[in-house]
Amino acid sequence: MHNLTLTQSIAGLRNGQFSSRELSEALLARIAEHNPSLNAFITVTAERALASADHADQQRVAGNAGPLCGVPIAHKDIFCTRDVRTSAGSKMLDNFVPPYSATAVERLEQAGAISLGKANMDEFAMGSSNETSYYGAVQNPWARDSVAGGSSGGSAAAVAARLVAGATATDTGGSIRQPAALCGITGLKPTYGRISRWGMIAYASSLDQAGPMARSAEDCALLLREMAGHDQLDSTSAEIAVPDYCGELNQRKDLSDLKIGVPSQYFGAGLDDGVATAVREALAVYESLGATLVEIELPNSALAIPAYYVIAPAEASANLSRFDGVRYGYRCADPKDLEDLYRRSRSEGFGDEVKRRIMIGSYALSAGYYDAYYRKAQQVRQLIKQDYDAAFNQCDLIAGPTTPNTAWAIGEKSSDPVSMYLEDIYTIATNLAGLPGLSLPCGFAQGKPVGLQLTGRHFDESTLLQAAHHYQLNSDWHQRGPEEFCQ
């Protein structure tokens, strides 16, 4: 049962082949067996899940089944879940049980989805390997000594290891697409504003965006359709109608009207040969499906990482100032005065990477440096957006590698933050411009999965999903799983 996709699970539940309780129990048993080593979940909510499964089974009998009725999923532990601990991977929030749920979580619940638990992540989503989590690194199901990617490493590993068929995740600089690539699954970062950020613990508010992870584009469409849409509680969520992503998947007979831009900058130095080969083969498949490849330029792409490491830490230093030991979360023992309460609660509650980014942000925003760093980074952000505007005059989608390398060994880069930052070289510009991006499996290098990244126009997730779906109808990379977890 664990090898079923979301789409197949829904069909099985609808046809009465199995109940939601049976499906949930089967997956919970797998979590109990594999999670102690994989570490994909921080919290497993077995009892609540089974109660929800029973409720879903009753709803189905009563004829009230929603589109995801009885389907088990997982939530990244960055989404507030009412009465369920929400840690954001941090000691700071190890004791935080929110009194409300994120809008994305509520919408999936209303559609009938069942949460089996909260997925591991880099602390406050700051990391590319899941190693900054207070709860420890996540193992990559394809190579247990390797990282699962980050920050949504737990969600990606849980989906790849067939512990759940779908999960929620978030992406600020690549945190959905990069772990999706490293774990051989499909992950979509929608356009900024497509999904409400209400109840999603903030890292960098002008970049953060929620999205789905699953084993196919078809399954991502199912989750996105429920998660997307305007929310009064998030004034940056767009008031733009949500298309029927599932219905539109097969809108195109072939891809003959699709122009795919290939940026020369994404195939230069630093790209692993095996990754390059797999990505070029995927582009050849697109050509064989009728798409036209056009070479494009994104001349400022090398500046995306430097701009990001000013803008994201600057926003983070402001967002994380709320963690003060007063209203919720960690408080140090016996503070001698208010200043001591703030400083010691934060010093003891935050991990090293979070502290580094807060301090970089404080530096970039401080008097005398603001123009040289923050303002300059925002200008470069504008240049990067203009590059994309020009590129999308020539093409409908942009394609390239999601990551320069496959999954690296746990511990290999953790002592050198900058070398880790460079792993996000192809994903970060998309967040700066607010564009939607998707990673889908397109082969292997050194026995580990390789991801193909597709980037689209603002609010054109449908074209991304259609292009990914067509590829998946004509390839089987997305159906492959790590042998150990597929039996």
Selected binder of another protein within 272, 297, 324, 412 (CB under 8 A): 324
For another protein, the closer CB: 55 or 230: 230
Rg (alpha carbons) of the chain, rounded to whole number: 21
Ordered DSSP codes for 237-299: S---PPP-TTTTTT--SSSTT-EEEEEGGGGSTT--HHHHHHHHHHHHHHHHTT-EEEEE--T
Does 360 sit near another protein (CB under 8 A)?
Answer: yes
User: One of 20, 24, 52, 76 is an active-site residue; which one?
Assistant: 76
- State how far the Cα of 250 lies from the Cα of 244, in Å rounded to an integer: 11
Is 151 among the residues known to form the active site? yes
Q: Give the start-end residues of each E strand in 41-198.
A: 41-44, 72-76, 114-119, 139-140, 143-147, 166-171, 186-189
Could you tell me which of 43, 48, 112 has the C-alpha nearest to residue 79?
A: 43
Selected binder of another protein within 310, 395, 442, 467 (CB under 8 A): 310
Token output for 108: 């999936």
Is 76 among the residues known to form the active site? yes
Which span sits near another protein by CB under 8 A: 17-25, 114-122, 298-306, 462-470?
A: 298-306
- Cis? peptide before 151, omega within 30° of 0: yes
Beta bridge partners, 398, equal: 261, 455
Question: Which residues in the 131-160 window bind another protein by CB under 8 A?
Answer: none
For another protein, the closer CB: 36 or 99: 99
Does 92 sit near another protein (CB under 8 A)?
Answer: no
Distances (CA, A) of 309 to 127, 360, 424, 429, 446: 12, 8, 11, 12, 30
Determine phi and psi for 76, rounding to 5 degrees. Answer: -55, 140
For another protein, the closer CB: 142 or 350: 350
Does 84 sit near another protein (CB under 8 A)?
Answer: no
- State how far the Cα of 212 lies from the Cα of 206, in Å rounded to an integer: 19
Distances (CA, A) of 141 to 185, 213, 221, 484: 11, 15, 24, 8
- State how far the Cα of 111 lies from the Cα of 218, in Å rounded to an integer: 17
Selected binder of another protein within 18, 267, 363, 444 (CB under 8 A): 363
Question: Which residues in the 183-242 window bind another protein by CB under 8 A?
Answer: 192-193, 206-207, 230, 232, 235-236, 238-239
Does 316 sit near another protein (CB under 8 A)?
Answer: no
Selected binder of another protein within 168, 300, 414, 463 (CB under 8 A): 300
Distance of CA 69 to the CA centre of its chain: 23
Which span sits near another protein by CB under 8 A: 21-29, 127-135, 379-387, 389-397?
A: 379-387
Does 18 sit near another protein (CB under 8 A)?
Answer: no
In one letter, which amino acid is 294? V
Does 98 sit near another protein (CB under 8 A)?
Answer: yes
Selected binder of another protein within 377, 397, 429, 440 (CB under 8 A): 377
Question: Which residues in the 394-433 window bind another protein by CB under 8 A?
Answer: 417-418, 421, 432-433
Selected binder of another protein within 59, 378, 445, 460 (CB under 8 A): 378
Total residues contacting another protein (rule CB under 8 A)?
Answer: 74
Does 28 sit near another protein (CB under 8 A)?
Answer: no
Selected binder of another protein within 30, 60, 344, 457 (CB under 8 A): 344
| Active site positions, annotated | 76, 151, 175
